[in-house]
């Protein structure tokens, strides 16, 4: 295999996702049949900031989950820096960090600082240095006061920020974030947006916050499992508004 090349970006090669019939579905309903939740899609994402927008259930999370191998394409392939997300899933995950909408889906350790430490395991072998680095990572977000708290006792927004610190501590080259501001108040949303702006890595994020989407270099509009618009932020947001509020694309 050739050495992975970040310049190759994140590529979808006719990637599609088909889900089997739901055995509990009402006979005759859409769920009782095999359903294509992402139609074959070919894309090369190299821009620093890529936003994905679209209605609930349109396929945004499905698209994002393909990037770090959380979902497998039913047809076609997805590659990150030339690495296949199925065949080379471990190498892909060393390159792609994933921030879930629900932070409890990714916080593994019960105590905040321990969760951040877990992300630093590969880079900080020595325990005391790892603890120090984890505390510093929390402090960069003004979250040092949460270090000793149980992740279960945090508010949703606090948890979301801790999950972000943990993901960033792992230092992957690509960050995929699924609605990272959903649980955040106005101030923390602004903080997260500033953090995203300053990150050196490529960030691919789904959001319902159109102001946040407007900051992206490229925006994909997803509708019923298809990318119906791909381009500059303002034009993409206009296309989505027309689609959602009437008037067609
Ligand atoms: N594993 C699965 N099995 C069956 N259906 C699924 C599966 N994953 C997703 N779906 C369906 O695929 C469609 C797209 O889901 P997806 O989560 O990608 O939407 P979304 O655009 O992220 O929506 P939201 O804005 O609500 O987060 C939905 O109808 C969802 O119910
Ligand atoms: Mg989603």
Per-residue pLDDT tens digits for 44-66: 999 999 999 999 999 999 999 99
Q: Coil, strand or helix: which one is 12?
A: strand
CB atoms within 10 A of CB 154: 20
pLDDT at 22: 87
Question: Residue written as tokens 């979808």?
Answer: 12
Report the interhelical angle of 127-140 vs 156-169 (nearest 10°). 130
* Cα–Cα dist 97/181, whole Å: 16
Quick one: pLDDT at residue 2?
Answer: 58
From the list 19, 10, 21, the residue with the least C-alpha distance to 39 is: 19
Question: In this structure, are strands 96-99 and 174-178 parallel, antiparallel, or unpaired?
Answer: parallel
State the 10-residue block means of pLDDT for the chain, 249 residues long.
79 97 88 93 97 97 97 97 96 95 91 96 92 95 95 92 94 95 91 90 97 97 98 98 79
pLDDT of residue 1: 52
**Residue from 20, 37, 176, 225 whose mutation best tests the ligand 1 pocket (most atoms within 8 A of CB):** 37
Given this model, what pLDDT does residue 6 score? 84
Q: ∠ at Cα 144 (140, 150), nearest 5°? A: 130
Q: Which residue matches tokens 């009782």?
A: 32
- The pLDDT of residue 206 is 98
Ligand 1 shell residues, CB under 6 Å: 19, 37, 54, 56-62
Nearest ligand (C-alpha, residue 59): 1
């Amino acid at each position: 295999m050739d050495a992975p090349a970040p310049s190759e970006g994140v590529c979808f090669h006719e990637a599609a996702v088909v889900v089997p019939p739901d055995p509990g579905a009402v006979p005759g309903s859409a769920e009782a049949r095999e359903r294509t939740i992402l139609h074959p899609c070919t894309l090369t994402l190299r821009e620093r900031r890529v936003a994905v927008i679209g209605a609930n259930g349109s396929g945004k999370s499905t698209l994002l989950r393909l990037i770090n191998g959380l979902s497998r394409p039913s047809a076609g392939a997805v590659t990150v820096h030339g690495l296949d997300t199925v065949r080379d899933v471990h190498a892909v995950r060393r390159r792609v960090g994933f921030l879930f909408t629900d932070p409890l889906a990714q916080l593994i350790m019960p105590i905040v600082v321990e969760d951040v430490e877990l992300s630093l395991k590969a880079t900080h072998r020595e325990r005391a240095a790892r603890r120090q680095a984890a505390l510093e990572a929390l402090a960069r977000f003004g979250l040092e006061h949460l270090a000793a708290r149980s992740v279960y006792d945090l508010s949703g927004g606090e948890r979301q920020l801790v999950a972000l610190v943990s993901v960033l501590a792992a230092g992957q080259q690509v960050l995929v974030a699924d609605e990272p501001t959903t649980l955040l108040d106005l101030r923390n949303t602004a903080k997260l947006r500033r953090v995203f702006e300053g990150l050196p890595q490529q960030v691919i994020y789904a959001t319902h916050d159109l102001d946040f989407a407007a900051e992206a270099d490229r925006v994909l509009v997803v509708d019923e499992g298809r990318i119906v618009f791909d381009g500059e932020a303002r034009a993409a947001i206009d296309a989505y508004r027309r689609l959602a509020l009437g008037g067609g694309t």
